[in-house]
Amino acid sequence: MSTVLESTKAVPSGAALKEGAAPQGNASHRRGAAPQETAVLQEDAATLGKTACAIADAAAAAAGSSATVRPTDPADIAASPFKRDFPLLANHPELAFLDSAATAQRPKTVLDAQRRFYEDMNANALRGLYRLSVEATEAIEVARERVARFIGAPSARDVVLVRNASEALNLVAKAFAPTVLGPGDEVCITIMEHHSNLIPWQQACQAAGARLVYLYPDEQGVIQPEEMDAKIGPRTKIVAAAHVSNVLGIENPIAELGRRVHAHGGYLVVDGAQSVPHMKVDVQALDCDFFAFSAHKAFGPFGMGVLWGKHELLEAMPPFLTGGEMIDSVTEQDAQWAPVPEKFEAGTQDAAGIYATAAAIAYMEAVGRDVIERRERALVRDCMEKLAELPYVHVIGHPDPDRHHGVISFNVEGIHPHDVASILDMQNVAIRAGHHCAQPLLAWLGQESCCRASYAFYNDEADTDALVEGLKTVWRTFNGE
């Protein structure tokens, strides 16, 4: 095994709710502070099963008990007690699922949350005076509170619930960037960005007459201080960077990027899609101005994403989308926007998905971020050590396994990544092959595409062994014994 980067530069019962008012006896959730979960927890046991906190709290309890044996040592990857929590993995024990960077599997508690929302409290949130609508509204606000705590946000009112990280990043590029960008200004991003954190900035710069500047890593995928100093300066209005690269798996120096751009009066936007599932995130410690992530990569449902932003910046931004529920008032000729976060949440939200996202966060918290991190480090190290025994496999990125957060990209000498992935699929090994929505990075590496194995804490050593045996089959298929 060799590293390619080294060789190329290349809710109270009966409460009434209407827009602009809160249920009696509860904190305002629509135009003021979000409701407290304790209000729901005071319901009697029968009612609790159908209120907003119930599923999320049940998820935490289930996560701690559904697997009969938890590892005393999180780094013990010989087997995974977590797979039984995930129905797809439990139903398909033959599958080595190594594509969690694209989308993670969902634990049963998340699937149960989404189903029970539709079974027990399905109604349009924010619009009704009847109990089901109130409970749907509570589900959204309880989830917002849980997200805020999970990422270290100082206030849930600065958590905007969107469809995915792509929408969140577009929101910032379309609504915030025009307020600070002008001709001759610069936006600085890394060459490692996912297209979702690249194309919006291309368009923002084109619209403003600004310049898009790239940060390039060293031969191991690390952005060095000298590169940051050379590229971030007085003209830099925005730095946008992935917290963790979806191709190299490396953690970018977010705090250092923020310190530099803030020194010049600029702003830091962080794509956290690949960090939230793997490590503890604290937006205040990162000192970023905006932070985005998707729920589906963090064991939650499709169609749910989060944008957190500093309150004063969100307040100053115009809305990205307009329509129902993001207004205070509308006349024939004008409209007054609702306060943050509602002014960025136009239209009917996916209350069931938001509810299930709260359950996903509760599950991760119950497992423990330290357990997740330690287990994934052990999995990545095991994989890289075993790939090193295959001379025809070339890993892309840093040679230190601890610098790969759940992601290992590689190529097999002389064999197209699509062929590799197809043959692995015949061996019940699921990986990703292609450009991974990071074409500029692949071009800089001198690669058209590559293979990517991506881990979550539910994986085990058997998954890696299946990958390695599958790669041997790939090699034999094209080269014989």
Q: pLDDT tens, 99-114?
A: 999 999 999 999 999 9
Q: What is the pTM of this model?
A: 0.88
pLDDT per position as a tens digit, 388-446 = 999 999 999 999 999 999 999 999 999 999 999 999 999 999 999 999 999 999 999 99
pLDDT at 161 over 50: yes
Q: At 244, give phi and psi (nearest 5°).
A: -135, 135
pLDDT at 25 over 70: no
Q: What percent of the chain has pLDDT over 90?
A: 81
Is the model more confident about 129 or about 190?
Answer: 190
Nearest to 355 by CA among 26, 131, 53, 35: 53
pLDDT per position as a tens digit, 304-328 = 999 999 999 999 999 999 998 898 8
pLDDT tier for residue 70 given thresholds of 50, 70 and 90: low
pLDDT value at position 51?
46
Taking residues 269-293, report their average pLDDT.
98
Which whole-number Å values give the CA distances from 275 to 212, 221, 272, 290, 437, in the listed order? 24, 16, 5, 14, 17
pLDDT tier for residue 18 given thresholds of 50, 70 and 90: very low
Angle at 213 between CA 151 and CA 247, to 5 degrees: 55
Q: For residue 313, how many other CB atoms are within 10 A of its CB?
A: 18
pLDDT at 36 over 50: no
pLDDT at 55 over 70: no
Rg (CA), the chain: 23
pLDDT value at position 480?
86
pLDDT value at position 285?
97
pLDDT tier for residue 129 given thresholds of 50, 70 and 90: confident
Give the separation between CA 344 and CA 361, rounded to whole angstroms: 23
pLDDT value at position 126?
82
Peptide bond into 23 cis (omega under 30): no
pLDDT at 80 over 60: yes
pLDDT at 11 over 60: no
What is 321-362 written as a DSSP string? S-STTSEEEE-SS-EEEPPTTGGG--S---HHHHHHHHHHHH
Query: Which residues are annotated as catalytic?
Result: 437
What domains does the chain contain, in order, with CATH numbers? Answer: 131-366 (3.40.640.10), 369-479 (3.90.1150.10)
Is the model more confident about 64 or about 227?
Answer: 227
pLDDT per position as a tens digit, 336-356 = 999 999 999 999 999 999 999
pLDDT per position as a tens digit, 164-177 = 999 999 999 999 99
Angle, helices 108-120/351-367, rounded to nearest 10 degrees? 150
pLDDT value at position 29?
39
pLDDT value at position 197?
99
